[in-house]
Amino acid sequence: MTDLKLGFPGNEKPVQADVPAGMPPPWDLSTQLKVVGKDHPRVDAVAKVTGRAKYSYDIRFKDLIYAKLLRSPHARARLKSVDVSKAKAMKGVLYTEAYDHAIVYAGQHVAGVAAESEGILDDALATIVVEYEVLPCVTTVEGALDEGAPGAIEGRGNLEEGRAQGDLEKVEEAHKQADVVVEAEYRTQVQTHSCLETHGCVCKWENGKLTVWSSTQGTFSVRSGMARTLGIPESNVTVITEHMGGGFGAKFGIDAWDQFCARAARESGRPCRAMLDRREEHIAGNRPDSIQKCKFSAKKDGTLMGGEVRSQGTAGIAAGGANVRNPGIYRFRATYAKHDTVLTNASSARAFRAPGHPQGVFALEGMMDELAEAIGMDPLEFRKKNDANVVRLAQYDIGAKEIGWQRRKKSGSDKGPVKRGLGVASAIWGHNVRGGAEVRCTIGRDGSVILANGAQDLGTGTRTVIGLMGAEELGLSLAEVEVRLGNTNDPVGPGSGGSQTAPAVAPAARAAAWEAKRELLKHVASSLGGDAEKMDLRDGKVTGAPRPLSFKQACGLMSVDAVSALGRGAIGIPPFNGEVAGVQFAEVEVDTETGSVRVIKVVAVQDCGLVVDPLTARSQINGGVIQGVSYALFEDRLLDRRTGDQVNADFLGYKIAGALDMPEIVSIAFSVAQGMTSTGVSSLGEPPTVPTAGAIGNAVANALGERIRSLPITPAKVLAALGGAR
């Protein structure tokens, strides 16, 4: 048993942990770390600022050809004929395909072309003649549930009822015992991922082996997907993702265009690129919308009682994707939830940064404020009274101080046409700490160090996290460690979903460096004498050796060319706190004459276990907040209700937050020694985007004294809420 000190300053907990074999001694609150926990620019920053970083979109060959899919303008149709003969006969066209599946959303592919240039490709696509039998479609939740509405997908009902969770009788009993019961309906919109690098890949065949440069969040899932659909062994597929331009959940596995690209490359014998254009990117994934009917109750003393939510949402033609996370987070006496998915003729939702959470929290936190208002209690006080999470309880105080919560006025009491308001909201996330990732650490005789893993860096800083683990364990600086990432010929790594990448690769990288270090020190001992077990590496030197020795000198003593070790991220220590906690505060300014909302300041306090690199962690928290601001105020996928075609599938019509929309953001990476693995690194990618819209919604309500229960909070909605009167 090992004694560990977990928790955070002010809330330390000694635990005795059974450390699994092969795990380096776990870090805890008493560990003095040299490089981990300090600000470091990300290791691939120079490549990215000079334009040298190569993304899938940038992979070029002299004989590269270009592939694209022709897409249906109709949301529901039968394909009577697809004639690609003219395209096929054009000079410069190398490969075509025509499909005959049922059309169930606008933008679904009907044919594919590969050609020598993008110009020829466009010309060829324009020659394809498609005969559609256009069928009636449904594009909204309400429309799909109308009596006599056509089925989005033939042979299936549009309503896919969710499983009832919780105990309705207990909730009704709790409502009865409560002093106030609040009922309200909240709505959230469809949000598209809007990754700046669109989806897609470049495929190249050589002697029956395929190399895929893929803009993906899961190199290994692309490898297995390609092998499966092409009928070749996975050992014949290499997937490379050195850099990728954002995913946010939309880029796992392989899509129709990836498969077409691989076939076009194989049939033409030339490398082929299929990257979506911006319009296509908007239909390649989204966050489902929601209508949440909520009934919450509380006692006058601030005790939260019943939480009852019935929701409907559409994930387009995808089933089961519309689950919102409401109720949750707080200590309800009883809860009941039923979340239905409604099929519509729209492109499938995909995982989107904290699926189900931002939309659920917008409604949940709105309801919390409505209850607080009804019992006349400060909303922060009300939350603290009903929150059992010790980390979040500490975060409330930090955030409140930083935003100046004591300035919060009674809702609607700010004078003048431009009103300010403050709001708060919370987030939970799971410790997505899973095993399975492996990192190889190789130390060369010249002292060079390589840490390699086949997973990808989405821009989250995975490469830097791995490098810092190696540097810490080997007593080196970050610059002295090389990280190789994004090639499936290297050891297996996770898909970047559920914020699991850093928690998976960090302990694996540390274990690899630790094991390689032990190998190196054995060589030192056999060369110079002494006890390898008593030696260590620190500040570029060997400690405990018979004579002073630098790391490089030690490497020179090896009797082999290199030592190498494979590290696995063993898990074995229970977490200090069962979940990842976060709190955000927002201050807004609402112009009651124009209806425009400006976010002035956001304070985000976010736990992520051990903070490996505070600089890149702050970047990631900023990013979560900014996507939340964008979701709260601007983004809204609009479908033509008649055709199902997205009318704003570009960056002019689909507005994402820009520089002028930026509030002051105070991102606080709140380090907690969580245990779990040898490093205690937990999930960070998703949770910081969870509470932002909820906090903004509450701040707007505080400013106006009127609540807008629908996202995005547009000027039109603000003016409507004010009823035209100031």
145 belongs to the binding site for other proteins (CB under 8 A): no
| Nearest approach, Cβ of residue 594 and other proteins (Å) | 19
91 belongs to the binding site for other proteins (CB under 8 A): no
Site stretch for other proteins (CB under 8 A), options 46-54, 69-77, 141-149, 520-528: 46-54
Site stretch for other proteins (CB under 8 A), options 426-434, 521-529, 616-624, 698-706: 616-624
Site stretch for other proteins (CB under 8 A), options 8-16, 395-403, 557-565, 645-653: 645-653
Closer to other proteins by CB, 496 or 500: give it. 496
38 belongs to the binding site for other proteins (CB under 8 A): no
Query: Which residues within the stretch 183-212 sit at the binding site for other proteins (CB under 8 A)?
Result: 193-197
Q: Within 316-375, where are the H helices?
A: 357-375
Helix (H, G, I), strand (E, B) or coil at 176: helix
Closer to other proteins by CB, 262 or 602: give it. 602
One residue of 58, 83, 160, 482 binding other proteins per CB under 8 A: 58
One residue of 72, 219, 286, 460 binding other proteins per CB under 8 A: 460
Which token pair is 250? Answer: 């939309």
Residue (of 489, 490, 509, 512) closest to 501 by Cα position: 509
501 belongs to the binding site for other proteins (CB under 8 A): no
618 belongs to the binding site for other proteins (CB under 8 A): yes
How far apart are alpha carbons 127 and 82 in whole angstroms? Answer: 11
Query: Which residues within the stretch 94-133 sit at the binding site for other proteins (CB under 8 A)?
Result: 118-119
Question: Residue 11 burial (CB < 10 Å; 0-12/13-18/19+)?
Answer: middle
One residue of 38, 54, 384, 598 binding other proteins per CB under 8 A: 54
| Nearest approach, Cβ of residue 60 and other proteins (Å) | 6
477 belongs to the binding site for other proteins (CB under 8 A): no
Closer to other proteins by CB, 81 or 117: give it. 117
Query: Which residues within the stretch 59-78 sit at the binding site for other proteins (CB under 8 A)?
Result: 60
461 belongs to the binding site for other proteins (CB under 8 A): yes
Which token pair is 118? Answer: 């993008």
Number of Cβ atoms within 10 Å of the Cβ of 717:
17
| Nearest approach, Cβ of residue 496 and other proteins (Å) | 12
224 belongs to the binding site for other proteins (CB under 8 A): no
Amino acid 588 reads V
Residue (of 664, 478, 384, 463) closest to 53 by Cα position: 463
One residue of 179, 277, 533, 640 binding other proteins per CB under 8 A: 277
**Which region holds residue 266: left if phi is over 0, alpha if psi is between -120 and 50, else beta?**
alpha
Q: H-helix or E-strand containing 211? A: strand 209-214
**What number of chain residues touch other proteins (CB under 8 A)?**
56
606 belongs to the binding site for other proteins (CB under 8 A): no
Closer to other proteins by CB, 279 or 726: give it. 279
DSSP class per residue in 219-242: HHHHHHHHHHHHT--GGGEEEE-S
Q: Torsion angle of alpha carbons 381, 382, 383, 387, nearest 10°?
A: 100
598 belongs to the binding site for other proteins (CB under 8 A): no
One residue of 364, 427, 626, 700 binding other proteins per CB under 8 A: 626
Is the preceding omega at residue 26 within 30 degrees of 0, hence cis?
no
Site stretch for other proteins (CB under 8 A), options 127-135, 204-212, 230-238, 612-620: 612-620
Residue (of 36, 56, 689, 62) closest to 425 by Cα position: 689
Residue (of 527, 519, 506) closest to 451 by Cα position: 506
| Nearest approach, Cβ of residue 626 and other proteins (Å) | 3
Considering Cα of 392, then 398, then 402, then 406, what sign does the dihedral take? positive
One residue of 13, 38, 187, 278 binding other proteins per CB under 8 A: 278
Assign 3-state DSSP to the chain and report helix, strand, coil percentages, each to 5.
30, 25, 45
620 belongs to the binding site for other proteins (CB under 8 A): yes
| Nearest approach, Cβ of residue 120 and other proteins (Å) | 10
How far apart are alpha carbons 544 and 540 in whole angstroms? Answer: 13
Closer to other proteins by CB, 241 or 679: give it. 241
- Angle, helices 692-704/357-375, rounded to nearest 10 degrees: 30
Residue (of 175, 31, 96) closest to 675 by Cα position: 31
One residue of 625, 690, 701, 718 binding other proteins per CB under 8 A: 625
* Interface positions with other proteins (CB under 8 A): 41-42, 44-55, 57-58, 60, 118-119, 193-197, 243-246, 248, 277-278, 458-461, 615-616, 618-620, 622-627, 650-652, 656-660, 662, 665
